[in-house]
Structure 1
Amino acid sequence: MVDPRLSIYRGTGEPHDDIAALSPPPPWRVFTGEVTSAPVTPTTPGARPTAEARARVYRPSSEVVHMVNVALCLRRPLLVTGKPGTGKSTLAFSVAHELKLGPVLYWPIGSHSKLGDALYRYDAIGRLQEAGMRGGAAPPDIGRFVRLGPLGTALLPGERPRVLLIDELDKSDIDLPNDLLNVFEEGQFDIPELSRLPDDHLEVRVMTEDPGRSATITRGQVCCRAFPFVVITSNGEREFPTAFLRRCQQVNIQQPDSEKLAEIVAGHLGPEALEETRELVARFVERRDRGDLATDQLLNAVYLAVSGAKSDPATREQLVDRLIQPLDGPG
């Protein structure tokens, strides 16, 4: 029998409150941030509606479910690999939706992504400009010019973890994975512009990544209480340092088989659409065995096939067939 403390996430798409039953963290992953703000709820502004809709019908494999629960239990990031279109990013939204952990904090990675920008941004020029406009009056509140980034917001102390999606880390500068190590290990960071303030400014209210929400920072320190559930996706285009991999749990999402594809089609477009296009699903699987095809290509093709688009059946069939051509050449 599976320990219920290791089956908090089930991958069913049905929200529940069992996150409260999550086992205590290991002694080496206990964080001490003091909760000072109201919890973030699923209705907090900032949710991405299309992603939430995908999360409700997302059905991960049993291996993925197990590794999500391991990462939750050990308070470690989850490094998710797999081909494009296998649902790596959607996994983060699925966990947030099912466990009622609020909107996913999203950090898309590019070649110029820096750790500092994901932690916080300080608009020093904007503050200087406003101070100049005030003349000799008191300088403007510094908190109005500090905004926590997605990683910084994820590390705010809360009773429940936030979900942070670090998308396509393999696109990053070579140093970024190593730069993340200390933050992942310590669960905290410092904002020097605030920690240098005099004692009569120990607490500063700053903006966060959540629209319209602010947070109180004491002595310039941000320290989590519940370590965030961090999903890091990679398309396998590069290798990561051993020290980075050691601090992550890892799972590879396989391409869905015929049965899983049928569930995906039915979940997104309804059982009637699946019944009308079973031959199309079979054709997709056959071509995927010979070339590179993503699941969203099948969903687009099924939708076009059953949507009643204004074209004669022969033309529509040609368009549908074109939508499931392998991305790496003719199928």
Structure 2
Amino acid sequence: MSVTEHPDGPPDWWIYRGTGRPPHDIDPVTLLPAAPPWRQFAAPPEADVVPPDDGEADRRIGTEYHLSDALVDTHEVEMVNAALYLRRPLLVTGRPGTGKSSIAYKIARELALGRVLRWPITSHTTLKQGLYEYDSIARAQAAGGRLSAPGKQNGTTGEPPIGEFIRLGQLGTAFLPRRRPRVLLIDELDKSDSELPDDLLSLFEDGEFVIPELARAARRTNVVEVFTADRAQKAEIFDGVVRCAAFPIVVITSNGEREFPPAFLRRCLRFETRDPDIGQLAAMVASHALDAGVSSRPDLVADFVERSAALGGLPSDRLLEAVYLATSGVYKKNDESWQRLMDALWRQLNSVVP
């Protein structure tokens, strides 16, 4: 594990420091330099909307996430900052359980960017699903209900506003023209079909996309208010185009189950996670506010590291589960019952239970 080697403190160019502690005296986003000329987008920024965290960050990285400078993975921090400066997506690879997706939540918390927009990928996920959804059936039913209302003549009520039936997805919401970038987590892209990475190329390059249903209606009304992926939030769309002002902070995770097209990789920065060491695992346990007074915790962390190495890697959340059981009074180091529990809990994910 690569740790910081800066005796005089973190380098000045670091905005994200990986400690989970936002600065108290300055907005870290204001430290971000202007985007490179080839990554600047023309949309005029609108008022910032920073939805509060919905609790997902607490579940992912804990309520008191904090690392000392000595425990920070220098390479991770360097790559995150490079992605921030260059306005490029960060493709994070590595085996399951090494904290790939948690990077997005650490960035959002440390830079005070609010709720992470998480877009989970499956084999059936399409680009349009991530951008927006249009419920044409509900709109037709609403229009029919208006026309058939008692006392109304045909054509006098008009169609309901189209924006009432359009909702931006997590991906589409991330590209709204805000001054502050949103953090977008595209989770497990390697599970997608073969077309999705290529479909993302234009969006990553141009920073915009068209909603055809609104573009066709632009002659009648060029401004339409639609729902977003944030609860109870709406946004105005001009001429049917969503165009970003600040390119979102995009974290893409992959378990390495497939290769991505060269054109897609060229638009991303790449970082591979490594297994956390004992100090980082202990900090992870502390961040989830588990009982710090449990005398067995150091032994559990050491046992977990040894078992993980023997099995070729275990997900870190298995350690959290073991510590939670220990805080519940189950733990006795040499107890046979405890050993059976750990054998069942700390098992390779692809092994078959005998």
TM over 0.5: yes
CA contact (8 A) 1:56 1:94 kept: no
After superposition, the Cα gap between the structure-2 partners of 1:194 and 1:170, relative to the gap in structure 1 and judged at 3 Å, is same
After superposition, the Cα gap between the structure-2 partners of 1:58 and 1:178, relative to the gap in structure 1 and judged at 3 Å, is farther
Identify the match of residue 34 of structure 2 among 21, 24, 42.
Answer: 24
Answer yes or no: is 1:118 the counterpart of 2:130: yes
Q: After TM superposition, list the pairs within 5 Å mapping 1:142-221 onto structure 2.
A: 142-221=162-241
**Kindly, what percent of the aligned residue pairs are identical?**
50
How far residue 126 of structure 1 moved from its aligned partner, in angstroms, is 0.9
The match for 2:19 is 12
The match for 1:64 is 76
How far residue 317 of structure 1 moved from its aligned partner, in angstroms, is 4.5
Q: Whole-Å Cα distance in 2 between the matches of residues 198 and 327 of structure 1?
A: 52
How far residue 189 of structure 1 moved from its aligned partner, in angstroms, is 0.6
- The one-letter code sitting in structure 1 at the alignment partner of 2:77 is V
- Write out per-residue CA displacement over residues 55-98 of structure 1, whole angstroms, 9 at most, x where no aligned residue: 74265511111110000000000000111111111110110111
Structure-2-length-normalised TM-score: 0.86
- Is the partner of 2:119 in helix, strand or coil? strand
Structure-1-length-normalised TM-score: 0.92
Between 286-295 and 96-105, report the one with greater CA deviation: 286-295
- Is the partner of 2:318 in helix, strand or coil? helix
- The one-letter code sitting in structure 2 at the alignment partner of 1:249 is L
- Write out per-residue CA displacement over residues 273-299 of structure 1, whole angstroms, 9 at most, x where no aligned residue: 3x4222222222222122131111111
- List runs of 5+ in structure 1 lacking aligned partners: none
Identify the match of residue 318 of structure 1 among 324, 330, 340.
Answer: 340
Answer yes or no: is 1:233 the counterpart of 2:253: yes
- Is the partner of 2:80 in helix, strand or coil? helix
The match for 1:43 is 52
Identify the match of residue 81 of structure 1 among 90, 93, 116.
Answer: 93
Q: Whole-Å Cα distance in 2 between the matches of residues 56 and 79 of structure 1?
A: 26
Q: After TM superposition, list the pairs within 5 Å mapping 1:251-330 onto structure 2.
A: 251-268=271-288, 269-273=290-294, 275-291=295-311, 292-309=313-330, 314-329=336-351
Compare the two structures and name the one with the higher helix fraction.
Answer: 1
The match for 2:121 is 109
Aligned residue pairs, count: 326
- The one-letter code sitting in structure 2 at the alignment partner of 1:300 is E
How far residue 265 of structure 1 moved from its aligned partner, in angstroms, is 2.3
Aligned-pair Cα RMSD in Å: 2.3
Q: Whole-Å Cα distance in 2 between the matches of residues 270 and 30 of structure 1?
A: 47
- The one-letter code sitting in structure 2 at the alignment partner of 1:176 is L
Q: Whole-Å Cα distance in 2 between the matches of residues 293 and 310 of structure 1?
A: 20
- List runs of 5+ in structure 2 lacking aligned partners: 1-7, 148-153
The match for 1:250 is 270
Moved segments of 4+, more than 4 Å = 309-314
After superposition, the Cα gap between the structure-2 partners of 1:50 and 1:149, relative to the gap in structure 1 and judged at 3 Å, is same
Q: Whole-Å Cα distance in 2 between the matches of residues 248 and 49 of structure 1?
A: 24
- The one-letter code sitting in structure 2 at the alignment partner of 1:279 is D
